[in-house]
Amino acid sequence: MDCIDKSDSQIIKFKQNLKRLGLNIKIQKKDFLKLTTNQNVSSILLDAPCSALGTFRRNPDVASKINQSKLKRNQKVQMQMLDKAINILDENGIIVYIVCSFHPFETINVIDKIAQKHKNIRTLSLESDKMIKRQNGYFINPLQFKELGGSDIFFVSILEKTK
């Protein structure tokens, strides 16, 4: 597995989390949008940059830091990253798009726009009682994690590249 992030500070945090979880995964500093590959990849987990609105339970200040124009800027980057991911993906390859946001601009609208742009992309279904189904993805249902004290809200959409 190849993990990349373009930010030094994020890589430090990521490494701390890996250590805490006892996972041995290498992460490299690279800009995904400038990535060149010799061969395509079969799957990509895209934990995309977003407003982090879904973490408001732990970080109440996220709501005051975000506005409409920042959300639009985030959407642009999310679309660029998905375009790139689709570009380097094998046929029948899978992209798991995740954001810790519940705002439509960063979730269902992004997937709608990507599916309109790339006719060779379809969304796949998930079977889980812990998710709330929308037209092209799923939100984590925080009510299903009461025994853990609740949870942040994430959006996930699984995309398959067809012919």
Ligand X SMILES: C[S@@+](CC[C@H](N)C(=O)[O-])C[C@H]1O[C@@H](n2cnc3c(N)ncnc32)[C@H](O)[C@@H]1O
Contact residues toward ligand X (CB under 6 A) are 4-7, 10, 13-14, 17, 31-33, 47, 49
What helix, strand, coil percent values describe the chain, rounded to 5? 40, 25, 35
In terms of phi and psi (left: phi > 0; alpha: psi -120 to 50; beta: otherwise), the region of 152 is beta
Handedness of CA 101, 106, 110, 112 (dihedral sign): positive
At its nearest, how many Å lie between ligand X and the CB of residue 162?
26
Residue 123 CB, nearest distance to ligand X (Å)? Answer: 21
Helix (H, G, I), strand (E, B) or coil at 158: strand
Min dist CB 13 to ligand X, Å, is 5
Which residue, 30 or 118, has its beta carbon nearer to ligand X? 30
Nearer to ligand X, 26 or 122 (CB): 26
Number of neighbouring beta carbons within 10 Å of residue 121: 18
The three-class DSSP label of residue 57 is coil
Among 146, 130, 44, which Cα is nearest to 87's?
44
**CB of 31: closest distance to ligand X in angstroms?**
4
